[in-house]
Amino acid sequence: MIAIIDYDAGNIKSVEKAFMALGQEVVITRDQETIMNAEGVVLPGVGAFGDAMEKLHAYELVETIHKVVEKKTPFLGICLGLQLMFESSEETPGVEGLGLLKGKIIRIPEGDGLKIPHIGWNNLSYPNQGRLYQDIPENSYVYFVHSYYLQAEEPEIVRATTEYGVTIHASVEKDNTFACQFHPEKSSAVGMKILENFVKVVKGEA
């Protein structure tokens, strides 16, 4: 069973439908015991960093998420979910993130005709081999919606990058902890393959 963490940060139903389309049992929950007992856990999200952290604290989910990661349950952050997994964000100075991974979230710089937020399809490069990208060719396109992006402190955890005025760390993997800045659930066949590869990790097949 895959638990999708519900902390009032949107984007949940499309993630649920995507995993259900892959034949997975899915529960949307903020119940700590359910999350702890899940085979895999997903932290989706759209919206503001500070508001989201406030809700995770309000629902007493911060410690639960840390425990899930510590016991190496496969864990996937999506979009804002990726950003929350790091230490801080320029969007909300002074607010600490979950700190599961080292790095910071910074605003995409204004530049030559680049619109902020960055909305649309961009291709991926793979600086390091990642389990989520098995059988997905380099330069495959995925769908982004964001104004802030990740600068990971540990280059070895970065599994996919894209270019949008700057090099964006688009996906990371460390142990059984994964995250994507883009929306795999909105990225057509490529995105479904990424989620399928996460399911393989959950099932112990990758």
Looking at the annotation, which residues are catalytic?
79, 183, 185
Which DSSP symbol is given to 123?
Answer: E
Q: From residue 80, how far is each of 23, 60, 191, 204 by CA, in Å?
A: 25, 18, 17, 26
- Determine the residue type at 111: G
Round to whole Å and give the CA distance between 89 and 102: 12
User: Which residue has 């649309």 as its token pair?
Assistant: 120
Instruction: Please tell me the distance from the alpha carbon of residue 190 to that of residue 97, in angstroms, as a whole number.
Output: 29
Look-up of token digits 């639960």 = 64
How many CB atoms neighbour CB 147 within 10 A? Answer: 13
Using CA atoms, how far apart are residues 61 and 1, in angstroms rounded to an integer?
19
Taking every pair of Cα atoms in the chain, the longest distance, rounded to a whole number of angstroms, is 49
- Closest by CA to 125, choosing from 83, 156, 170, 82, is 170
